[in-house]
Amino acid sequence: MKILFLFAMLWSDFGQAHAGSVKDTVKISNDRMSFLFETFDGAERMNCRHFLEREDNPYDWTVKCENGKGRFRKFIVHLAVSRYRHPSPPEVTYEVLYWVNGNGATSLYDFNTDGGLRTINANQSITGEESGLRMVLRLN
């Protein structure tokens, strides 16, 4: 409950600081992202395939990872990227929501100029495990 309250406070501060901002949803293209499952000790790595859960929802993806030896993992990923343009510095803020199986993070990145964010690299820990799902998303 305390975490939700803290997030609500931070989000409220973001909204107040960026009044008059214009929000653009960044279109995520299937061929511009990749996923890799790996244990944190480096003992296991699995390349992954991904596809939209439903065509009418551009944010939820099924990610299937295989090691080629019969072992596989399946995850549900919620991924959303938004860009906010502001009338005063910082000129641009990117908001990245990266959630794996219901656990994840929302991150905000401010830029003084709108030079265009090229790539987002994120790694989300898998709850109860010593592993993570690494995501690379190329925007340009």
Q: What is the pLDDT of residue 19?
A: 64
Between 85 and 4, whose confidence is greater? 85
The values of phi and psi at residue 19, to 5°, are -60, 140
Give the β-pairing of 33-39 and 131-138.
antiparallel
pTM of the model: 0.80
Measured CA to CA, the distance from residue 78 to residue 44 in angstroms comes to 24
**Exposed e or buried b per residue across 61-89, where buried means at least 16 C-beta atoms within 10 angstroms of its C-beta:** bebebeeeeeeebebebbbbbebbebeee
Q: Inform me whether the pLDDT recorded for 55 exceeds 60.
A: yes
| Reported confidence tier of residue 121, pLDDT bands at 50, 70, 90 | very high
Q: Inform me whether the pLDDT recorded for 111 exceeds 70.
A: yes
